[in-house]
Structure 1
């Protein structure tokens, strides 16, 4: 359940974006050259991230279902606003192929998406920071690892076999408090709802992919709790493919038989747990630089429009993109 602070943030999110839509859009388009010039002066990390999210290298033609910027679908509204935040700087007649929601495959034509599978040829899936209000909510955690309860915690929807398999392996272990808070959950898996703040009282939080990526991964890694999870198979703007096992998180076997062993190890070696927590926190700070976030977002779209033949590239900017 959303608290007052989170509800207020949501209201502000919508109010800000509605005001952007009401404002004359030409005002944004006049600023595009300056915004792109600022982006060109960014560091190598921005260029690397741009080309990770947008792996396209060859020219292409937008697909038959491509939509104009000024005709983009409004639902789901958060996806619309997250795309429009940066697309509004470009000519409204430019065409985009876009797929909102959870994406489990790779589109046949270059398409803007929230997520894509990792272990495949995924170049046609161009990642943007979609649904960021939900996925990039990373509240501060003031409780030190040593001061947390030595318990494994997990709550979630049983929307894939991995989560059910995890509960079967962990629900009867004395150091685990795991289950589903959904009304549809079978009685043997049912547990009461816990807020993010309540999760953060525990040392070990499990992250499990659902329809695609695990929504809780970002706030776990931003906390002082230790993230335990199987290696990710999907990635978003959070670049899950760049996460390193035993550096940013503790890997779990597919059958979760190693869960007890991993917990016992870190209970005996808390300094090792705190080292992983610190590395995870540092990784999350990558996404806290708003200037870089905006530069990467604009450049992802710019590269898409250039390679689709809709914009003539600026020589200096294209040199920066190509490195």
Structure 2
């Protein structure tokens, strides 16, 4: 049933975006002023999140490789549709720098990205909610923590030393069901595929970064399972840098030497586990407020175009952004 629902949602995603692309784009541009006014009235939380995703403060000039809004490449379809959803409200001649896919460094010039390294000097990575169908899938979890299997689970591609180190550590631990379902996984580390619903039957789910962020962090934190992970080093629209250890997740040492002790502790202190999962659930709820999500997305691009000198700011909207 979950697979069917996911497939249906994906078909709807493409159908809706296809229809948007075929509609007269002038209709969207004509609504920009009213959409910005609605965003301006959204409040402090929207402003704070907008300025977190778009940390730019100084004027800049787009690069020579910048692409006009009306000519965004469609090759990476989900990235294209997620950016175009809000870019279509602006003049098609405005130039934009962007990088689709996994971004492992901070761009030299301001650029729209899905993710960026966590740090104080990452302002050139302007975050948008890209590839959101994959990264922001947070289905409801009906199974309580107490009713889950008292074990640790992880599945994924062994594409970096951190993940390999974890599987090596977990291999001989009876409390762990960890490995890779991929055919290229080494012998002894290969495990049967488990979908999200199957993984959420375990009390403890480990989140490990891959090429950049850990895709599973969002659906773990929105579940009734306890998230265990080392401190994140990349962030997306989910603002992983604001996810707090011992508040929203259980921190693990990079060598996973504390894994067994952490699980033993929460097996004896289920109320503590409940406190953390409740806080994690609460953190996730803001991403389901579609009105705020759309307001922030539109304002992130608006701020980008104003600071790039291509758009004259509306005084009221700019005053809202500046706080």
Class of the TM-score when normalised by the shorter of the 2 chains: over 0.9
Q: What residue in structure 1 maps to residue 99 of structure 2?
A: 99
**Partner of 2:60: helix, strand, or coil?**
coil
Q: Report deviation, 1:186.
A: 0.6
Partner residue, 2:296: 296
Equivalence for 1:10? 10
Cα distance in 2 for residues equivalent to 1:59 and 1:156: 41
- Which residue number in structure 1 is paired with residue 212 of structure 2? 212
Counterpart CA distance in 1 for 2:32 and 2:316 is 15
1-side partners of 2:119 and 2:318: how far apart?
A: 28
In the other structure, the counterpart of 2:37 is 37
**What is the match of residue 281 of structure 2?**
281
SS for the counterpart of 2:92 is: coil
- Structure 1 residues 229, 183: closer, same or farther in 2, change over 3 A? same
SS in 2 for 1:112: strand
Is it true that 1:161 corresponds to 2:161 in the alignment?
yes
Between stretches 294-303 and 164-173, larger displacement belongs to 164-173
TM score, norm. by length of structure 1: 0.99
Corresponding residue for residue 264 of structure 2: 264
Task: Name the residue aligned to 2:197.
Answer: 197
Counterparts of 1:2 and 1:188 in 2: how far apart (Å)?
30
How does 1:66-215 map onto structure 2 within 5 Å?
Answer: 66-215=66-215
Give unpaired runs (5+ residues) of structure 2: none
Deviation track 1:253-312 (CA, whole Å, cap 9, x = no partner) reads 010000000000000000000000000000000101000000000000000000000001
Note if 1:254 corresponds to 2:268: no
Inter-partner Cα distance in structure 2 for 1:274 and 1:188? 34
Shift of 1:120: 4.9
Structure 1 SS opposite 2:281: helix
2-structure distance, mates of 1:94, 1:219: 36
Is structure 2 residue 278 aligned with structure 1 residue 244? Answer: no
Give unmatched runs, 5+ long, in structure 1: none
4+ aligned runs moved over 4 Å, structure 1: none
Q: Using the alignment, how far apart are the partners of 1:10 and 1:316 within structure 2? A: 38
SS in 2 for 1:281: helix
CA deviations on 1:157-209 (whole Å, 9 max, x unpaired) are: 00100000001111110100000000000111000000100001100000000
Residues 31/51 of structure 1: CA separation in 2 closer, same or farther (3 Å cut): same
* Shift in Å, 1:89: 0.3
- Counterpart of 2:57 in structure 1 is 57
* RMSD over aligned Cα atoms: 1.0
Corresponding residue number in structure 1 for 2:321 = 321
Describe the shift of the 1:126–1:219 C-alpha distance in structure 2 as closer, same or farther (beyond 3 A).
same
SS at match of 1:286: helix
Instruction: State the aligned residue count.
Output: 323
* Structure 2 CA distance for aligned equivalents of residues 119 and 158 of structure 1: 26
Provide, for residues 93-145 of structure 1, a one-character-per-residue CA deviation record: whole Å limited to 9, x for no partner. Answer: 00000100000001111000000000351010000000000000001000000
Partner Cα separation in structure 1 for residue 13 and residue 2 of structure 2: 15
1:73 is displaced (CA, Å) by 1.1
